[in-house]
Amino acid sequence: MTKKLIAATLFLAACGSKSAPTSTMSAPPADPGPTASAPVDPGPAPAPSTKGKPEIGAWGFDSKGMNTKATPGASFYQYANGGWLASTPIPADKSNYGMFSVLSDKSDERTKEIIMNAAKADGPEAKKVADYFASFMDEAAIEAAGIKPIKADLDAIAKIKDAKGLIAAFARSSRIGRGSPIATYVGQDDKDPESHLASVSQGGLGLPDRDMYDAKNKQFEAKRVGYKQYLETMFGLIGTKDAAKRAAGVYALEEKLAAVHWTRVENRDPQKTYNKMTLAELEKLAPGMDWKAWADGVGLAKAPAFNVNQPSAITGTAKIIKSEPISVWRDYLTIRLLSATAPYLPKKFVDARFAFYGTTLTGTPQNTERWKRGVDEVTGAMGEAVGKLYVDKYFTGQTKAQADELVKNLLVAMGQRLDGLAWMSPETKAKAKQKLATYNPKIGYPKKWRDYSTLVVAANDPVGNDVRASAFEYDRHLAKLGQPVDRDEWGMTPMTVNAYYNPGLNEIVFPAAILQPPFFDPNADDAVNYGGIGAVIGHEISHGFDDQGSQYDATGKLSNWWTKDDSDKFKTATAMLVAQYNTYCPFPAAGDKPAQCVKGELTLGENIADLAGLTVAYQAYKISLKGKPAPVIDGMTGDQRFFLGWAQIWRRLYRDAELANRLVTDPHSPSEFRSSVVRNLDTWYEAFKPAPTDKLFLAPDKRVKIW
């Protein structure tokens, strides 16, 4: 996926964490309703329903998972989810666990079945799927092979003697996904959305974020120590002399790279990260390395132009490439090789990698079962080959039709919200409506499936399969240069529990796997569905109008379609949201360690989308009622059930290390604070009547209203 697509996803798994099953959600209590909610008029009796029984509870919500001793105004997250949070353990092989995890696990089980059945199916594609999985699962063969599968690569690195050999190694590493200080990819041209453009970006760090290398950040000291130990361990596993000294050299090199990298907040600015130039201009920008040799090595010798995402970082990286000893770069490339191939090497490599990237970084005590890792490998390499089989078996026409209807209702509601905006001028509003009218919704699965006929897979070569799959994907994107943009292409597989908005294609995409309970259940109460999948749809629609997406016009072009006055008003409102989220600090200050808080600027786009998405979903829910009052169910009004449906999808538990890591790396706020966005909606106050003294209560003029 491209950088801008990634930024617009609803949910992002950090550090390769995977999910595991939870117990089945229990039925609601016999009590007619939660004691802490505001009293409601009984209203009309519920209309007779032709629906079947929902998968969760009596109406699509797990009432037993509530904590009715909490009040909605004190903590809506605890009120809606406290019982579940208190009674649910995080599985030993998970860094975090929640509703996304439940569905991811379900998807993994289904995908495993599909992969196993592929071994019995006819056809070359099914055989490739089966062989890819089989190669990863043959642990005995992997142990017997030792490091032989990467011996030629280790020898090639050891023979690098000069800058020419170094640049060639960087290029090859970039093409096969093994890590390089200069990252390369081909994607849509932000300012010419019908064309493709090669991009150059900063890369090559072993820690998840540049700020973790800074010794002044005391909260990351344990991670720095753990990473240095990891480097030494990996060198030791291949019998390297002076492993500690060489590990220290690699770490010092990465420190220098980190110091010139842009921050995650800086990388969120699509204007600053668009810097189109020729190869000659790139050579002038970043002297110190042979850019012609690099371009040839990455297959871009004939590219007419490049986008340099972080100009100063590329300049700084080129200087470091020139100034640092070749011997240190050889050690750096060795570590990148070992880290990338460790999952396919003997157990001691797998364990060493997990000890750092699993336990130290995320607090996870136990690695996931190998078959789950194998499923990830296959879907990462041949996702759409598996996806077509998944859709045939698990995605119904009824679900697609109902999801299509929900999307239409949400788009209508967003249009109504735009029409009703008092702060936006008619000129800008007309362009916003034009952009909304050109949205391309994609539901379930692609119109056409990817062709894997040229991908070579061997049943006894897991390292080689990974290399060939990475090169296949790189070359697939490389081939796009000079070709028209394919607006039917998908950036996720149908088995992915996620959703995204792509500003360049002006599309909203909802894979099949997210269209399940608790997000969507055809038999659930409409209010819960609108609070769940409706808000997810609204979230993705809203990304076209967040602080990043709003910079792209109806054609997908990065261009300013706002008046200055409208832009200023928008920035004032978003600044309020930044300030609000900056106050959420899961880890208060302790000793010499500062408080660890949500970064309002980093999470701004997702917070805008949560706020706007929930607002739009509520309006769509009201549209669906067609002027009729919602029934009261178990003492709950329709509005109360709507907001509970929203809170339910954000049930999630984190290990402390994982949560701390996400606060630095994840553009999404932790789940509790995503749930708490309700405090900005007047309709939530009307539904639950929080007291002015309650923690979540905001005075009307402090409630952020954007879309």
Please determine, for residue 34, whether its predicted confidence score (pLDDT) is greater than 50. no
pLDDT at 633: 97
Say which range, 33-42, 127-136, 205-214, 391-400, has the weakest mean pLDDT: 33-42
pLDDT at 5: 40
pLDDT at 461: 97
Question: Which pLDDT tens digit goes with each residue over 92-107?
Answer: 999 999 999 999 999 9
Of 316, 58, 341, 110, the C-alpha closest to 203 is 316
pLDDT category at 47 given cuts 50, 70, 90 is very low
Of 539, 704, 662, 649, the C-alpha closest to 605 is 539
Contacts of 158 (CB under 8 A, 6+ apart): 330
pLDDT category at 32 given cuts 50, 70, 90 is very low
DSSP states along 454-495:
T----TT-HHHHHHHHHHHHHHHHHTTTTS---TT--SS-TT
Pairing of strands 192-202, 276-277: unpaired
DSSP state of 696: T
- Separation between Cα atoms, residue 198 and residue 577, nearest integer Å: 35
CA 52 to chain centre: 33
Please determine, for residue 153, whether its predicted confidence score (pLDDT) is greater than 90. yes
What's the length of the chain?
A: 707
Please determine, for residue 16, whether its predicted confidence score (pLDDT) is greater than 80. no
Backbone angles phi, psi at 342, to 5 degrees: -50, -40
pLDDT category at 347 given cuts 50, 70, 90 is very high
pLDDT at 50: 63
* Chain position carrying tokens 């169910």: 633
Question: Which pLDDT tens digit goes with each residue over 466-524?
Answer: 999 999 999 999 999 999 999 999 999 999 999 999 999 999 999 999 999 999 999 99
Residue 155: exposure state from Cβ atoms within 10 A (0-12, 13-18, ≥19): exposed
Question: Which pLDDT tens digit goes with each residue over 413-439?
Answer: 999 999 999 999 999 999 999 999 999
pLDDT at 288: 85
Number of H helices, E strands in the chain: 27, 9
Mean pLDDT, the chain, as a whole number? Answer: 92
Question: Which pLDDT tens digit goes with each residue over 171-180?
Answer: 999 999 999 9
- Separation between Cα atoms, residue 306 and residue 273, nearest integer Å: 12
Higher-pLDDT residue of 23, 459: 459
Contacts of 302 (CB under 8 A, 6+ apart): none
71 HSE (CA, 13 A, CB side): 14
φ/ψ region of 177 (left if φ > 0, alpha if ψ in -120 to 50, else beta) reads left
- Per-residue pLDDT, averaged over 208-217, amounts to 96
- Separation between Cα atoms, residue 8 and residue 10, nearest integer Å: 7
pLDDT at 1: 38
Q: What is the CA radius of gyration of the chain?
A: 26
Backbone angles phi, psi at 448, to 5 degrees: -135, 145
Cross-strand pairs, 196: 188
Higher-pLDDT residue of 659, 40: 659
- Distances in Å between the Cα of 337 and the Cα atoms of 145, 163, 170, 173, 528 are 17, 19, 11, 8, 48
φ/ψ region of 334 (left if φ > 0, alpha if ψ in -120 to 50, else beta) reads alpha
* Chain position carrying tokens 């909260």: 219
SS3 for 379-434, per residue?
A: HHHHHHHHHHHHHHHHCCHHHHHHHHHHHHHHHHHHHHHHHCCCCCCHHHHHHHHH
pTM of the predicted model as reported, rounded to 2 decimal places? 0.91
- Separation between Cα atoms, residue 386 and residue 326, nearest integer Å: 43
Question: Which pLDDT tens digit goes with each residue over 565-582?
Answer: 999 999 999 999 999 999
Q: In what order do the strands lie in the sheet with 192-202?
A: 182-189, 192-202, 306-308, 276-277
- Per-residue pLDDT, averaged over 379-408, amounts to 94
pLDDT category at 593 given cuts 50, 70, 90 is confident
pLDDT at 10: 53
